A and B are shown apart, each in its own frame.
Chain A
């Protein structure tokens, strides 16, 4: 009996704990969230069924569109991370004395908690006392108060968040560069490829998989952005740097509107689904090809 079924029984047993955990923590919570978004609920008392009223209010709320716009800014700006990461990876991948040290310098932000990065950048941006203010005043100019400017504040936060993200992409590309096929490069050299041509036609095609992972993770990271905003501006000034994830937190935790917060979460989930779906379909296809 046992012997006959062994081929599929073992994998099932090994995968079951993960499935149960994922089912309870992720799938069930997500469904519960969607259910809550159809209610008016303060997180303590009884839930009152309101159907799609939360969504109706959401699409009438200018603050929601501010947050959505900021999410788009995050997404677009964050796409700078993969190319910059690649550039730095190519730079530090050369066999020159002292490169190890340079590598570890670029690697530093990855080991910092993003909250710490946020706090440090807040200090840099602080008017009057901050590093930026000091640098400007050295030239007799006055630094812009980046975190107080409703139009610039999101760019200032993304700038801070890019620092660890670029380092992350750099690590991915460094790993990719170590796996390049020497034969192909040698063949390229024989054909007279140098510099830019070599990079474009020989190196980059071999880094395709890495690039895909870097872009996907960066996109999802941009949509998940929350901690930096919470630490640096708390969505301010007056909500102009808020994103969907922060809006959800603020509405649920500070305003006691769990139903409304869940509705925001649902919208964010749908946006994320686009990227996650694209990511998964690529992974599946890659597996089928093997």
Chain B
């Protein structure tokens, strides 16, 4: 060991250290800049958002650095960047998924800004989606109303009418099967569409209060009061209401059967229109899931939202941007195309029939949930999604599946 050798080694180490830090560019806080990460998948919404950002740059003179991440990849990326390298604006889901970050102080409390702008007046009840402990942690964007969808031209050709109650539903299954149609097409390859059905049966039988208690881990999955959910569901499964081998299909492939005149209905959100041929798009019609128990109408109405990370470098500029983005004409540029319901009630009625149908339908809804995997703990949701998919293939395993879900619930929420 000579000294020279020492210093050489040291120099090498130092060199390695230098390159490593050079890779992570130092963030010099500039007074008027803004970083936005957006997870919108390609399409009109994305172009609309670029337009909004360009408009904001012009109006405010702020330098905006905008990057897009793939929607699915973003779900994992957000956990890194909120902690390590936060942008000034990011997009997420409201409800329980938002709670995950709020509880860890990763989203900025923007209550004062929301009140200043008078948003509570134009948002009405929708504001509850971004409210935790009476504080607002983001702004709601597009609302997705879930339910049954069919092509009205196909129904007219075949002389079908959408079922309104349970007996009607079972009759509809027999009628459409007799015509060689799949009564309800379904793709559970990505698991979550099965959870949407669970929500439908739950909201139609036990109602919103019990449903939300289950979502919050306050009711056991093995609780006998949940039985009607699975009894009705099983009745439909055994009647052959759903697409065979649905675990092999994505929702897009399943929805394609509507356009091919091979299926009657699908239970999803208005975004199903992206899987319908252009010629049939204008016939896509919403109908609520049939009534089962004699209770008020509750629906899944999920909201996405926009947030300022707690560690954002330019929170003030971010608020400026939100104010610009939240003007009705700008907001509609990004949420209009997918048939989502605008969160503000002062948005002029558009010509999108999907939006108008949903707005109309929401008038008679007593209360809304978000969606199974947005309302409950993510760990619970993963187990639930798998369990519901299994139930739809092997309904006879109901008790074992619920037993397993209850074990997961106990691990997460503890004893009741």
Contact = CB atoms under 8 A, between A and B. Distances in A.
Interface in A226-280: 233-234, 236-239, 250, 253-257
Interface in B5-56: 5, 8-9, 12-13, 16
B247 A5 contact: no
Given A148-B247, A237-B390, A238-B390, A1 B382 contact: no
Contacts of A45: 104
B66 to A, nearest CB: 25
A129 B389 CA distance: 22
A269 to B, nearest CB: 22
A85 to B, nearest CB: 30
Given A237-B390, A255-B382, A147 B12 contact: no
Interface string B60-88: 00000000000000011001000100000
Interface in A142-172: 145-148
A5 B2 CA distance: 9
B16 A125 contact: no
A63 to B, nearest CB: 9
Interface stretch (A13-21, A94-102, A106-114, A217-225): A13-21
A5 B386 contact: no
A188 interface: no
A256 B249 CA distance: 26
A120 interface: no
Interface string B231-267: 0000000000000111111000100000000000000
B191 A234 contact: yes
Contacts of B190: 234
B83 A44 contact: yes
A173 B389 CA distance: 44
Given A13-B12, A237-B389, A238-B393, A148 B378 contact: no
Interface size for chain A: under 10, 10 to 19, 20 to 34, or 35 or more residues? 20 to 34
Interface string A118-157: 0000000111010000000000000001111000000000
Contacts of B188: 236-237
B343 interface: no
Contact of B389 (A13, A43, A125, A238): A238
Given A5-B5, A234-B190, A238-B386, A127 B379 contact: no
A2 interface: yes
A254 B2 contact: no
Contacts of A257: 379
B4 interface: yes
Contacts of A1: 2, 4
A129 B244 CA distance: 13
A146 B248 CA distance: 8
Nearest to B104: A44
Contacts of A147: 189, 247-248
Nearest to A236: B247
Contacts of B189: 147, 233-234, 236
Contacts of A5: 2, 5
B4 A2 contact: yes
Given A44-B83, A126-B253, A234-B189, A17 B248 contact: no
A283 interface: no
A9 interface: yes
B179 to A, nearest CB: 17
A81 B363 CA distance: 61
B244 A237 contact: no
A290 to B, nearest CB: 30
B387 interface: yes
Given A255-B379, A257-B379, A145 B245 contact: yes
Given A127-B244, A236-B389, A44 B12 contact: no
A237 B246 CA distance: 10
A108 to B, nearest CB: 26
B16 A17 contact: yes
A239 B253 CA distance: 21
A123 to B, nearest CB: 10
Contacts of A44: 79, 83, 100, 104, 106
B332 to A, nearest CB: 33
B16 A9 contact: no
A237 B393 contact: yes
Interface in A50-86: none
Interface string B366-389: 000000000000110011001101
A238 B245 CA distance: 13
B83 to A, nearest CB: 7
A145 B9 CA distance: 61
A237 B247 contact: yes
A278 B82 CA distance: 43
A137 B4 CA distance: 78
Contacts of A239: 386
A111 B190 CA distance: 28
Contacts of A256: 100, 378-379
B82 to A, nearest CB: 8
B378 A255 contact: yes
Contacts of B387: 238
A43 B79 CA distance: 8
B5 A9 contact: yes
Nearest to A130: B248
Contacts of B13: 20
Nearest to A62: B404
A128 to B, nearest CB: 8
A262 B52 CA distance: 42
Contacts of B12: 13, 16-17
A49 B2 CA distance: 44
Contacts of A148: 245-248, 393
In the complex, the 5 A-B pairs of residues with the closest C-beta atoms, listed nearest first:
A238-B390, A145-B245, A237-B247, A255-B379, A148-B245
Given A44-B83, A127-B248, A237-B390, 10 more contacts: A1-B4, A2-B4, A13-B12, A43-B79, A126-B249, A127-B249, A254-B378, A255-B378, A255-B379, A256-B379
Interface of A: 1-2, 5, 9, 13, 16-17, 20, 43-45, 125-127, 129, 145-148, 233-234, 236-239, 250, 253-257
26 contacts: A1-B2, A2-B4, A13-B8, A13-B12, A16-B12, A44-B83, A44-B100, A44-B106, A125-B248, A126-B249, A126-B253, A145-B247, A145-B248, A147-B189, A148-B245, A148-B248, A233-B189, A234-B189, A234-B190, A236-B189, A236-B191, A237-B390, A238-B386, A250-B382, A253-B76, A255-B378
